[in-house]
Amino acid sequence: MKKLFILFVFISGFCLAQIPLGYYNAAQGLTGNNLKVALHNIIKNHTIVSYNGLWSAFQQTDKKTNNKVWDMYSHNPTGTQPYEYTFVTDQCGSYNSEGDCYNREHSWPQSWFNSTSGPDSDMFHIYPTDGEVNGKRSNFPYGNVSNPSWTSMNGGKLGPCTNAGYTQTVFEPINEYKGDLARGYFYMSTRYYSEDAAWGTTDATNKSIILPWQITVLLSWHHQDPVSAKETGRNNLIYSSYQNNRNPYIDHPEYADSVWAYAVSGFEDQFLFSQQFSIYPNPSSEQINVISYSNSPENSVFKVTDISGKIIEEKIILAGDAKPFDCSQWQNGIYFISISNSKALSNFKFIKQ
């Protein structure tokens, strides 16, 4: 996220903990699901902050330069603030309307993981936000909205999703914070990978797995809104003073493209495909990279078709190979990529932008 208004002077806590030397050594050279597993092993077993302890932690991790609460659901990055909150004094309690008080927003809703201990107080997806906006967002997924049924004072929108693959109600934050929230989701899916037995299935997730349509939204937001000084400082302080782990997708934004492949047919495929193949970046405007991992059983046929079914590209990918493909001359839009051999058929949705 690029914020022109931030010429940020970090307090000492933000400056103490840069990425430790060798922190990501175990992830070097890995891609796809192998990378996700390596990152999980690096950031698991974090120090758990109590749910009640979040109130005091926010006073360090989510403090604006004027010492007010940094509320991503109300903050106006370019003009007059609709309202601002003072720590402790304006803490919810009850509320009747926007601007009454701030509470603890689980960007990955608690109902999605059945309020399991650990993720219920994990600071990498929990932020102080206006109580009313938090309530309006409820447990709806994130997505893009063109015809909102409700709009917050800073421009957050609730309404039907306009992204491919989902038409139900979603919440769209302002552009300034879309990347922050996306990287929080990437963290959650990685941190709790294989530790999600008690989690539920939703329209956007299957336990800790993010479904393809939601991944499409989040990767797009991740690219549109790059990592900011605010995020980096928060990441450093959570590591040094609270949880002793980091969000890898803030430290290494390129990991997001490498980990997640797009599977049209659903979450079951996401496990298989991420182990066999990766395509990234997605979306892309110039080039896509296709990786066939060493556990792929044989050479595969790589085929790209447009939405009319016309074949745009067809190539052979060798087992264990990595190939770049030029997509700069393709028309902007949605394409379908299949990678097949005698053992498996993998289908991906690709967006050319």
pLDDT at site 320: 67
Asked if 30 contacts 252 with a C-beta cutoff of 8 angstroms, the reply is: no
The model carries a pTM of 0.74
Cα–Cα distance measured from residue 22 to residue 67, given in angstroms and rounded to the nearest whole number: 34
Asked if 229 contacts 289 with a C-beta cutoff of 8 angstroms, the reply is: no
Length reported for the chain: 353
Which residues pair with residue 129 across a beta bridge? 103
Sheet holding 287-292, edge to edge: 277-280, 287-292, 322-326
pLDDT at site 292: 67
Asked if 42 contacts 280 with a C-beta cutoff of 8 angstroms, the reply is: no
pLDDT at site 77: 94
Q: Which is it for strands 157-160 and 150-151: parallel, antiparallel or unpaired?
A: antiparallel
pLDDT at site 2: 42
In the DSSP assignment, the letter for residue 20 is P
Paired tokens of 186: 């990437």
Listed residue (278, 115, 237, 249) closest to 182, CA to CA: 249
Q: What is the pLDDT along the chain (353 residues), one digit of tens a residue?
A: 444 333 333 333 334 458 999 999 999 988 888 899 999 999 999 999 999 999 999 999 999 999 999 999 999 999 999 999 999 999 999 999 999 999 999 999 999 999 999 999 999 999 999 999 999 999 999 999 999 999 999 999 999 999 877 899 999 999 999 999 999 999 999 999 999 999 999 999 999 999 888 988 998 899 899 999 999 999 999 999 999 999 999 999 989 988 875 333 333 333 333 445 667 777 888 888 776 654 555 788 888 888 777 888 888 888 767 778 889 999 888 888 877 776 666 677 788 88
Class of domain 267-352: mainly beta
Cα–Cα distance measured from residue 292 to residue 343, given in angstroms and rounded to the nearest whole number: 14
Kindly report the number of other CB atoms within 10 A of residue 50's CB atom.
12
Rg (CA), the chain: 21
Torsion of CA 297, 298, 303, 309, to 10 degrees: -70
In sequence order, what DSSP letters do the residues of 314-350 get, joined into one string? EEEE-TT-EEEEE-TTSPSEEEEEEEE-SS-EEEEEE
Domain ranges of the chain: 31-259, 267-352
pLDDT at site 3: 42
